[in-house]
Amino acid sequence: GQQVMQIPQYQHVQEGEDFTTYCNSSTTLSNIQWYKQRPGGHPVFLIQLVKSGEVKKQKRLTFQFGEAKKNSSLHITATQTTDVGTYFCAGLRVNDMRFGAGTRLTVKP
């Protein structure tokens, strides 16, 4: 079955440092979604990528979808304490949506 792997599992950074999480699928994806979950909260939708090689930006966040539509990344520039949480990717392949295990980001002020 479709597997979505996400690395790293944890990332601890100093405030102001950059952060990247990577998502890899064993199969070609139709599209990929990214979510953020704050500690004790619920997942909140961030963005969806559909096209091969697509790059989207939201302020300090940059999302990329690989040319082969099998991998994706989320990059945060100059992290802030408000960025703390777990970031999940979710790969979609025809009615089948699989979440990665998430990357838990902690930021030291």
Partner 1 sequence: NAGVTQTPKFQVLKTGQSMTLQCAQDMNHEYMSWYRQDPGMGLRLIHYSVGAGITDQGEVPNGYNVSRSTTEDFPLRLLSAAPSQTSVYFCASSMFLPGPTGGDTQYFGPGTRLTVL
Binding site for partner 1 (CB under 8 A): 1, 6, 9, 30-31, 33, 41-45, 48, 50, 88, 90, 92, 94-95, 97-102
Whichever of 23 and 107 has its CB closer to partner 1, that residue is 23
Minimum CB separation of residue 45 from partner 1 in Å reads 5
Tell me if residue 2 falls in helix, strand or coil.
coil
CB atoms within 10 A of CB 64: 20
Minimum CB separation of residue 20 from partner 1 in Å reads 18
Q: Please give the C-alpha separations between residue 63 and each of 1, 21, 104, in angstroms, as whole numbers.
A: 25, 10, 17
Whichever of 42 and 109 has its CB closer to partner 1, that residue is 42
Please state, in angstroms and rounded to a whole number, the distance separating the CA atoms of residues 98 and 30.
12
Whichever of 39 and 109 has its CB closer to partner 1, that residue is 39
Tell me if residue 3 falls in helix, strand or coil.
coil
Whichever of 5 and 84 has its CB closer to partner 1, that residue is 5
Spatial CA neighbour of 52 closest among 34, 70, 35: 70
Minimum CB separation of residue 94 from partner 1 in Å reads 6
Tokens 């990665």 sit on residue: 100
